[in-house]
Amino acid sequence: MLNVYLSGEIHTDWREQIISGCGEGAFKFTSAITDHEASDAAGDVLGKENNGFWRDHKSAKVNAMRTKNLIEQCDIAIIRFGDKYKQWNAAFDAGYCAALGTPYITLHSEDIIHPLKEVDAAAHAWATSPQQVVELLNYIAGDL
Amino acid sequence: MLNVYLSGEIHTDWREQIISGCGEGAFKFTSAITDHEASDAAGDVLGKENNGFWRDHKSAKVNAMRTKNLIEQCDIAIIRFGDKYKQWNAAFDAGYCAALGTPYITLHSEDIIHPLKEVDAAAHAWATSPQQVVELLNYIAGDL
Amino acid sequence: MLNVYLSGEIHTDWREQIISGCGEGAFKFTSAITDHEASDAAGDVLGKENNGFWRDHKSAKVNAMRTKNLIEQCDIAIIRFGDKYKQWNAAFDAGYCAALGTPYITLHSEDIIHPLKEVDAAAHAWATSPQQVVELLNYIAGDL
Amino acid sequence: MLNVYLSGEIHTDWREQIISGCGEGAFKFTSAITDHEASDAAGDVLGKENNGFWRDHKSAKVNAMRTKNLIEQCDIAIIRFGDKYKQWNAAFDAGYCAALGTPYITLHSEDIIHPLKEVDAAAHAWATSPQQVVELLNYIAGDL
Amino acid sequence: MLNVYLSGEIHTDWREQIISGCGEGAFKFTSAITDHEASDAAGDVLGKENNGFWRDHKSAKVNAMRTKNLIEQCDIAIIRFGDKYKQWNAAFDAGYCAALGTPYITLHSEDIIHPLKEVDAAAHAWATSPQQVVELLNYIAGDL
Amino acid sequence: MLNVYLSGEIHTDWREQIISGCGEGAFKFTSAITDHEASDAAGDVLGKENNGFWRDHKSAKVNAMRTKNLIEQCDIAIIRFGDKYKQWNAAFDAGYCAALGTPYITLHSEDIIHPLKEVDAAAHAWATSPQQVVELLNYIAGDL
Amino acid sequence: MLNVYLSGEIHTDWREQIISGCGEGAFKFTSAITDHEASDAAGDVLGKENNGFWRDHKSAKVNAMRTKNLIEQCDIAIIRFGDKYKQWNAAFDAGYCAALGTPYITLHSEDIIHPLKEVDAAAHAWATSPQQVVELLNYIAGDL
Amino acid sequence: MLNVYLSGEIHTDWREQIISGCGEGAFKFTSAITDHEASDAAGDVLGKENNGFWRDHKSAKVNAMRTKNLIEQCDIAIIRFGDKYKQWNAAFDAGYCAALGTPYITLHSEDIIHPLKEVDAAAHAWATSPQQVVELLNYIAGDL
């Protein structure tokens, strides 16, 4: 059983493509909460904040309790960068994996190779499509 | 002696402001090579690459031999995000510090609070000016 | 399955509220022995002590064999401070979690914010009611 | 050279007694910032907060950048509990040391033995006066 | 489920007493191979040795592949010293546990307190009978 | 259940001999992908490379995502050196195990004792036939 | 500079032989307090104990604050077993080193090979005279 | 100061070329004992062995006390493969570095790329001449 953490972009269906492509049995897939509004509001139950920084801070820390454990437990992470937004959290997760020695695969298009060179340098593979990730994961998990 | 790693943006003089503001004696400051062209060409001595990905890959890995050691040896990191570029390497360094349990201070303006919320959530402080960082570092290193 | 350690106050039913609120299936809850007299007498089977310090010492070390393992195995700890007693063991558990990098949620009323500031600073969230903890845990464990 | 971290109560001169009693040469003593007002205001340079929780939070995290490094670097910690205040930060530091495997000596009077039994159980010694700590440290550091 | 490693003396039935006393369900007990002759001959399959040191060396290393893994996986170890033989391997296992931070209970009679003081000092409890160990283990594993 | 990683030579049936000799139940055996051509082509799905070094590099890193996890999860590794080829990957795996403190058994004929002396020095046993390995593993896993 | 910890027997001058044999410059030698009476009385400053177990316990824990740090800081340990006494503390130190991955050399006569086989199996060398240890240390530290 | 360990081939002057090329001040270079005969005889002082395996075993373990410490202390390792001999110890050192997360540079000619692909895949750079290594090290250590 290969434990795979799916990090990054939440606006396309790359997670679903990988999960359905890999089929059942050999994998456990985990992820941050990918519902954008729920994620931003994760800390609101603890009380309203007038200051945007602290609202974000509380929610981000609640989310971190989930992601920190899932990343530390995974065997491999997929780090996805889409073509919009800053996506610093994806790069943060990549650095976290690198420090733990957990291998990760980056998933992004060719036009952002240069700004991602440090993130790719610590990766074990760079893929440009979810289908490539599926093929890699099936190979890696072959006859475990 | 406090060992401080300065990560991120290389286009303004924030490093110099912090170093000169902190004065001598109580601090050791380290950093990646901040000469942009030298950094991009760090791997060229090992042979030319026609493919841009591999040229970046080789250089980024040569640079990583420097930064990986310096980050692992620092007591505190300053993670700077400017107002231009992707700066995924800064977020990567923050994640690396977080996994090691090394405290870091983010340094960025107010308008990027939301996309940096995960990075700020794992930080020990968020500053908006080099002068604030100087005051924090002097306080932290007081009478060591 | 999220492994949650419940640390601290033993005089109210906050543990039961959290356990029953979270429902079955997604959680494993653990705790120190919460029967006060049994806990104080944990070492008595090894022989009576005339000196109060050594009686406490033996019992506390027997209890530590339980709590040390449970804390090291948990994914998240809840650290509860009530409105009576010193409760140094709860703060000790929080420090233990912080050193391990295990996220924890503090659960206490607003009037002890200031003396708990170091403990709260290393926490991932501060809650004031068991119901808030239940909501956080259900969110964090969503779709695991 | 023995690196000794002095944690806890800041209202009596126990630190000075230990430092002057141990003499020069064999020891390096470190500590949190013990100026109460400066410590509470440590984060104010980053901007004023209307909410007391966040003011405390910012200051406590700034202080943690100092104490976390000093505790992780020490060989032995002295954990002092006075006869007033909650002093949860001292118990937090003890738990932090215990998780790291760093030995510590508690320093407190006999009347709080029972509430400190978990903290004392993980300690390597319990002293009731700074002079006892001085004798222990001089013995431990003998002919290093 | 508490994983308990039983280390030391192999000439009395203390292991059986503990295992049968604890009953089923809450414990997993492990141990070195306790058949003395089989243990001494563990390396013979790899070829005969004329030199006694090397025969012992090979067998001890084969046995270590078993014990090293079992000790590293246990939650608690019981370290038993009988009234005969050197039993340096039991003290070695205690030191191994101490370095890992794994709690252990020593089991020995009162007349060897003084030579075992360093081993007992790092223990979480000292018992004089298997029945005491059974009571401690049942207490520690209560309602896990 | 003993988790055994089988590293090295892929041209004889030593893996099958060990697996069938050990029987079912007490062991989990893992290994790199041992299909030579599939292994060399592991990275081809990510795009063709004209340069032999980069093709090897990509494939080796894809394979490393599998082997790194499997080696880190095993209890014991078997490191096999045949009588042909460089087999530097087998020695690399041995060094990896040594650094992790994972015991391993080398499996090689007598004529390469001298060049393998550093690898054998860090091993827990040296065997010359798969049947010897089977006997060792059955002994080590006895009554687990 | 090689940091060498000298553990075990305190009744002959083997420590002095090694220290004087190695000469100055390349080594730092450390050790427990080897004055038997001072060591047994190390905890007396904290108050008299009527019970022999607790007197030993207090002193052993005071001594452990010294030895634990020194062992964790050493590069190599020498573990000496004389021909008298139980010397369980020496075997304990060997196990501690083994768990940390710190290499050690045992120093004992041939007649106790069999009871020390587990301790020797985890050692990097077995010597029978201080002069042999001196030669090994000088070799190991050559041209550092 | 960059601590660089030089591992592998001992029959050409690549070590001297690197050391003299890097100049003084910014580097500390370490290495195994490179005198082949002295290295093979490192354990002879402990007594003659008739069996070649055990002679090698004793010497290799004596050498390991040196190399294990030096590798664990280095910031960067250079792993050199010449065009003769098995050189399994160099690949072993590379695996050891990889497990520790210590970056290394391989130094070998182009004709052994394929058998070294796993070793190169975990490296941070592949060089073909000592002069390239000198340039990389000077770049990495720039303005430390």
Contacts of residue A66 in chain C, CB cutoff 8 Å? 139-142
- Count CB neighbours of H127 within 10 A: 21
Find the closest chain H residue to F94 by CA distance.
Answer: H92
Q: How far is E13 from chain G, CA to nearest CA, in Å?
A: 21
CB contact under 8 A, D103 and G62: no
pLDDT digits (tens, 9 = 90+) for G25-70: 899 999 999 999 999 999 999 999 999 999 999 999 999 999 999 9
User: What's the confidence (pLDDT) of residue F83?
Assistant: 87
Burial (Cβ within 10 Å: 0-12, 13-18, ≥19) of residue H130: buried
Enter the DSSP assignment of A20: H
pLDDT digits (tens, 9 = 90+) for B70-97: 999 999 999 999 988 899 999 999 999 9
Contacts of residue G56 in chain C, CB cutoff 8 Å? none
pLDDT band at D143 (very low <50, low <70, confident <90, very high): confident
Most D CBs within 10 A among A46, A49, A51, hence the mutation to make, goes to A51
Residue C78 — left, alpha, or beta (φ > 0 → left; ψ -120 to 50 → alpha)?
Answer: beta
To the nearest 10 degrees (0 to 180), the angle between helices F88-100 and H88-100 is 40
User: What's the confidence (pLDDT) of residue E24?
Assistant: 75
Residue E62 in this model has a pLDDT that exceeds 80: yes
User: What's the confidence (pLDDT) of residue B75?
Assistant: 98
| Cβ atoms of residues C106 and C120 within 8 Å | yes
Q: What is the mean pLDDT of chain E?
A: 96
Whole-complex ipTM? 0.97
Instruction: Among F30, F43, F46, select the one facing A144 at the smallest CB separation.
Output: F30
pLDDT digits (tens, 9 = 90+) for H68-117: 999 999 999 999 999 888 999 999 999 999 999 999 999 999 999 999 99
| Cβ atoms of residues F126 and E46 within 8 Å | yes
pLDDT band at E61 (very low <50, low <70, confident <90, very high): very high
pLDDT band at A23 (very low <50, low <70, confident <90, very high): confident
pLDDT band at F78 (very low <50, low <70, confident <90, very high): very high
Q: How far is CA G87 from CA E127, G76, G81, in A?
A: 21, 19, 7
Do A and B touch, counting CB pairs below 8 Å (3 needed)?
yes
Distance CA F116, CA F139 (A): 25
The pair phi, psi for residue C134, each rounded to 5°, is -60, -45
Exposed e or buried b for every residue in B91-104, given b needs 16+ CB within 10 A?
Answer: bbbbbbbbbbebbb
Q: Average of pLDDT values for D67-77?
A: 98
| Cβ atoms of residues D92 and C92 within 8 Å | yes
Find the closest chain D residue to A54 by CA distance.
Answer: D54
Pairing of strands H2-8, A2-8: unpaired
Distance CA F142, CA F140 (A): 6
| Sign of the alpha-carbon torsion through F45, F46, F47, F49 | negative
Q: How far is B28 from chain A, CA to nearest CA, in Å?
A: 23
Residue H128 in this model has a pLDDT that exceeds 80: yes
Instruction: Among B75, B103, B135, select the one facing D64 at the smallest CB separation.
Output: B103
pLDDT band at F23 (very low <50, low <70, confident <90, very high): confident
Closest CA to B16 of B2, B6, B1: B6
Contacts of residue B101 in chain D, CB cutoff 8 Å? 68
Closest CA to H89 of H113, H74, H67: H67
pLDDT digits (tens, 9 = 90+) for C57-85: 999 999 999 999 999 999 999 999 998 88
The one-letter code for the residue type at D113 is I
Q: How far is CA H52 from CA A109, D115, F116, H41, H114, in A?
A: 58, 63, 12, 11, 33
Most H CBs within 10 A among B66, B70, B71, hence the mutation to make, goes to B66
Q: How far is G59 from chain C, CA to nearest CA, in Å?
A: 15
Instruction: Among C30, C42, C58, select the one facing E144 at the smallest CB separation.
Output: C30
The neighbours of chain B, by the rule of 3 or more Cβ pairs under 8 Å, are: A, D, F, H
User: What's the confidence (pLDDT) of residue C124?
Assistant: 98
User: What's the confidence (pLDDT) of residue A84?
Assistant: 86
Residue A143 in this model has a pLDDT that exceeds 90: no
Residue F144 in this model has a pLDDT that exceeds 90: no
Q: How far is CA G75 from CA F115, G54, G100, G101, G105, in A?
A: 27, 33, 11, 10, 11
Q: How far is A138 from chain F, CA to nearest CA, in Å?
A: 11
Closest CA to G135 of H41, H31, H67: H41
CB contact under 8 A, A139 and F58: no
Closest CA to E90 of G95, G79, F144: G95
Size of the D and G interface in Cβ pairs below 8 Å: 45
Closest CA to B45 of H141, H134, H79, H4: H134
Most H CBs within 10 A among B6, B29, B45, hence the mutation to make, goes to B45
Q: How far is F19 from chain E, CA to nearest CA, in Å?
A: 18
The DSSP-derived string for chain E is -EEEEEEE--SSSHHHHHHHHH-SSSEEEEE----HHHHHTTTGGG---SSHHHHHHHHHHHHHHHHHHHHHH-SEEEEE--SSS--HHHHHHHHHHHHHT--EEEE--GGGTTTTHHHHHTSSEEESSHHHHHHHHHHHTTT-
- Which strand (E) or helix (H) includes residue A9? none
| Cβ atoms of residues G112 and G81 within 8 Å | yes
Question: Strand, helix or coil at A7?
Answer: strand
Range in B41-50, F32-41, G33-42, H23-32 the model is least confident about = H23-32
Distance CA C11, CA C121 (A): 25
Q: What angle do CA A124, A126, A131 make, to 5 degrees?
A: 115
Q: What is the mean pLDDT of chain A?
A: 96
The length of chain A in residues reads 144
Residue for token pair 């990986």: B68
Using a CB–CB cut-off of 8 Å, the residues of H that contact F are: 52-53, 56-57, 59-61, 63-64, 81, 85-89, 91-100, 110, 112-122, 126
Q: Hey, what are H101's tokens?
A: 């997360």
CB contact under 8 A, D95 and C92: yes
User: What's the confidence (pLDDT) of residue H11?
Assistant: 92
Contacts of residue G1 in chain H, CB cutoff 8 Å? none
pLDDT digits (tens, 9 = 90+) for B34-55: 999 999 999 999 999 999 999 9
pLDDT digits (tens, 9 = 90+) for F49-67: 999 999 999 999 999 999 9
Q: How far is B101 from chain F, CA to nearest CA, in Å?
A: 21
Distance CA F101, CA G77 (A): 18
User: What's the confidence (pLDDT) of residue C85?
Assistant: 86
Size of the C and D interface in Cβ pairs below 8 Å: 126
Enter the DSSP assignment of D128: S
User: What's the confidence (pLDDT) of residue A9?
Assistant: 95
Domains (range + CATH), chain A:
2-36+74-141 (3.40.50.2300)
Predicted TM-score (pTM) of the model is 0.98
pLDDT band at F143 (very low <50, low <70, confident <90, very high): confident
| Cβ atoms of residues D107 and D81 within 8 Å | yes
User: What's the confidence (pLDDT) of residue H110?
Assistant: 97
User: What's the confidence (pLDDT) of residue E47?
Assistant: 97
Torsion of CA D127, E112, E87, G63, to 10 degrees: 20
Most F CBs within 10 A among B46, B48, B49, B51, hence the mutation to make, goes to B51
Find the closest chain E residue to C58 by CA distance.
Answer: E125
CB contact under 8 A, B114 and A60: no
The one-letter code for the residue type at F126 is W
Distance of CA F57 to the CA centre of its chain: 20
Q: How far is CA F48 from CA F54, F55, F96, H113, in A?
A: 9, 7, 30, 18
Distance CA C32, CA C18 (A): 16
| Cβ atoms of residues F93 and H95 within 8 Å | yes
User: What's the confidence (pLDDT) of residue E23?
Assistant: 81
CB contact under 8 A, H126 and B64: no
Instruction: Among F30, F47, F61, select the one facing A124 at the smallest CB separation.
Output: F61
Contacts of residue D136 in chain G, CB cutoff 8 Å? 45-46, 62, 65
User: What's the confidence (pLDDT) of residue A24?
Assistant: 76
- Which strand (E) or helix (H) includes residue F76? strand F76-80
- Count CB neighbours of D19 within 10 A: 18
Q: How far is H23 from chain F, CA to nearest CA, in Å?
A: 31
pLDDT band at F114 (very low <50, low <70, confident <90, very high): very high
| Cβ atoms of residues D34 and D11 within 8 Å | no
Residue F127 in this model has a pLDDT that exceeds 90: yes
The DSSP-derived string for G58-123 is HHHHHHHHHHHHHHHH-SEEEEE--SSS--HHHHHHHHHHHHHT--EEEE--GGGTTTTHHHHHTS
Contacts of residue E51 in chain H, CB cutoff 8 Å? 51, 54
Closest CA to C108 of C83, C71, C76, C137: C83
- Count CB neighbours of C79 within 10 A: 28
Distance CA D56, CA H53 (A): 66
- Count CB neighbours of B13 within 10 A: 10
| Cβ atoms of residues C77 and C137 within 8 Å | no
Contacts of residue A52 in chain B, CB cutoff 8 Å? 113-114
The neighbours of chain H, by the rule of 3 or more Cβ pairs under 8 Å, are: B, E, F, G
pLDDT digits (tens, 9 = 90+) for E65-75: 999 999 999 99
- Outline where chain C has alpha helix (H): 14-22, 36-40, 52-73, 88-100, 117-121, 130-140
